Structures are given as C-alpha cells and as structure tokens.
Amino acid sequence: MKSNQCIRLQVVTLIVASSAQLLGCESTSNPQVNPYKLIYSSLESKNRSIYLSDEYGKQRLKVVDVTASDGYPVISPDGKSVAFYGKYDEFKTWSIHRAAIDGSNVQRLTHAKNKWDSAPTWSPDSKTILFTREYKHPNGQWQSQIWLMNADGSQQRQINALQGGGASFIDNGKILFHSHGSPSQISIANIDGSNVVKLTNDATDNLAPRLSPDGNHIVYLSNRDGNQEVYIMDINGNNPKRLTFNQVEDWDATWSTDGTQIFFASENSDGFFDIYKVKRDGTALYKVINSGSQVAAVNNLNAVALQKLIKKNQQN
C-alpha cells in the first residue's frame, strides 16, 4: 500500500510540475491582455482630444491632440490606425485625419474648405474610409453626402446616388446609413448606391445606425417617442426596442466588442456629454466616462504601438 501511494504521489508531482512549466511558457509567450475597449472624444482638458479607455472608465490613455476639437475616432480593423476628425478655420472646416495608434504620423486626409467632414468608418480590410460631408449649397440648401477614400486620403469620391450620413460598412460590398432630411430613415445599400433597402419608414428621425458584432441587430437613435433615445432592431428592421428613457438627448450609440452592451453619450448639465453603457435588454444603465462623447468600440490594437502609447503617456 505504501509503495502504491508513493508511486501515485510521484505521478501527481510530475503532473503539477509539468502543468506549471506549461503555464509558465504560456504566460511568457502571450502578450499582456489589452484592457482598452473604447475610443472616444474627451473634454478632460481645454481642447477636445482622443482617448482610449477600458469599459469602466478606470484606465485611460491620451491618443492624439491635433486641433482644438478632435472627435469621431475609430480604430482600423487591423488595429494599426485611428481615423478621426478635427476642426479648422474657427470650426468652419472639419477634416478627416489618420494617425498611428501611438499618436504618431498624423495625416490630414481631407481639406475641403467650409465643409464638415465627420463620422469616418473603416472597411473590413482597413483599406477604405467612409465619411459624411455636410455643407450649405450656394442655392441655400443643406447637403449631406456620403464619401469614400483610400486609407491614405487618395481617390476621394462621392457616392452620388445617396444623400445622407452616418454610414458604415456591413461588408466590403454594402453599407448601412441614414438618409438626408427629415424624417431621416435607415437603409442598407450597395457601396455604389444601388439596391437601397429601407429598414425604417415612419414620420420621425432615425439616425446613426451601427451593426452588431454578430450581424443580426442594429443600434440607432430615434425621436419617435418625442426625445432622441437609443433603440435596437433586427437587421431587417423588425422588432424595434427602446433602450433609454432620458429627459435629455442621447447620441453616438455603439456596440461593445462582444455585442452584449451598448455604449452611448448623453447630454449633461455642463453643456457637453457623458458616456454611459446599458445592456442590450435595456437594463443595468451605468455612467462610464465624464465629459466624453462620440464613443466607438475597439476590437483590435497593434500591441507594439500600444506599448509605445503607454510609455508616451507615462512620460507626459
């Protein structure tokens, strides 16, 4: 009996030692877990700047500070670049920019004077940027257009068949957007503007749609109940559900990386916004970040560039 117990003890010891060795190898080979799941426009200082944050607002990193008002940041799917807008000419000209994740290599991609270029989004292959261009036509009519360009700013072209904004890629061949004018409606179309499929059709404004990570639902803004609130619906426009019930307007709704929560900005008493999160069933409302807006989820970050950004923040 004692001999058998010794043998079993030796076997258990070997297994534990082997497991510890394996775990040790795994911990040294795996990169540090990235806590930064949100990117947003912050008013923590005098200027609006771009920050990364975890989903609780506890860990934050300043990414870039180019103009007096930087916003609408979004990370490229390959995790290497951030696109955002900045304002010039006393806020009369809004331009799309691109920078590396560590805040270096800032490039101003659009330069159209007295035009408002905003809300950039990336194609799945990180090679193309969609954005909204707004301006007043010489005839006095307000224009809201959807534009495309290469990630380096080249080949800028309008999708002439569409009038609207808030566009994002569903895949490389289709986009999700809201129409221009009031009432604004949400639709899907081919990237050339053909085959428009309307998902909402009512007498109220439906804006800023974003597709869920699983591709089955859309989060959007609507004032159908009298105040601009956050809603979700099925990808075909069915089963709309209101998620927020606030006395102030809500903006910038986006999905968490796992699709279980919605992040959005809500007006505050200081004349700016705070960022909240709520579960997709409308429960567990929680304030995440003070003085933040235009939030987007972060699905991927280049590990080397992130370490450079962390060191840069530590030095400042």
Q: DSSP H helical segments within the chain, as ranges?
A: 2-29, 303-315
Q: How far apart are the first and last CA of the chain?
A: 66
Q: With contact defined as beta carbons under 8 Å apart, do 107 and 152 qualify?
A: yes
Contact 285, 244 (CB under 8 A): yes
DSSP strands (E only) in 65-123: 70-75, 81-88, 93-100, 107-108, 116-122
Hunting for tokens 């609006």 — which residue is that? Answer: 48
The verdict on pTM exceeding 0.75 is yes
Q: Which residue has the tokens 């304030």?
A: 287
Give the CATH number of domain 37-315: 2.120.10.30
User: How many CA atoms within 13 Å lie on the side-chain side of 221?
Assistant: 22
* Burial (Cβ within 10 Å: 0-12, 13-18, ≥19) of residue 267: middle
DSSP string, 194-219: -S-EES--SSS-EEEEEE-TTSSEEE
Closest by alpha carbon to 262, among 299, 222, 212? 212
Is residue 142 classed as helix, strand or coil in its secondary structure?
strand
Q: Taking a C-beta distance cutoff of 8 angstroms, is the pair 63, 306 a contact? A: no
Six-digit token pair at 40? 């947003």
Where in the chain are the domains? 37-315
The pLDDT tens digits along the chain (316 residues) read 444 444 444 444 443 344 433 333 333 334 457 899 999 999 987 899 999 999 999 999 999 999 999 999 999 999 999 999 999 999 999 999 999 999 999 999 999 999 999 999 999 999 999 999 999 999 999 999 999 999 999 999 999 999 999 999 998 789 999 999 999 999 999 999 999 999 999 999 999 999 999 999 999 999 999 999 999 999 999 999 999 999 899 999 999 999 999 999 999 988 899 999 999 999 999 999 999 999 999 999 999 999 999 999 999 8
